[in-house]
Amino acid sequence: MSESKNSPIQEGTSPALLGEHDAYCVERPMAGWKAIAEHLGISEVTAKRLVARGLPIHRPADGTVFAFPAAINKWIRGADKRNPGKPEGAEAF
């Protein structure tokens, strides 16, 4: 990752040491439904259905879709708290 001299984030900074928003800025997004579904361990159809439940994805004007792994992991942890009797992670859906 090459950062400009004016960037507040120094090269080699671990995302764990950054704030939540900054971590998304240095994290590589997952592009496409296939990558998002693989991260969740579910089918692409199920991943698309989870958008209605708040799956944090981004849809730029060009028609593509992408998501940040940290945002999805945070969303899953929140779902686990909302559904404590269900299995952890994507299996809760």
**Could you report the per-residue pLDDT of 5-38, keeping only the tens digit for each?**
444 444 554 445 445 555 555 678 999 999 999 9
Tokens of 86: 């269900």
- What is the set of domains in the chain, with CATH numbers? 19-92 (1.10.10)
pTM over 0.85: no
pLDDT at 68 over 90: yes
Instruction: Report the distance separating Cα 18 and Cα 35, nearest Å.
Output: 25
- Please list the residues that pair with 31 across neighbouring strands: 66
What's the pLDDT score for residue 78? 86
Question: Of 23, 24, 55, 58, which Cα lies nearest the Cα of 39?
Answer: 55
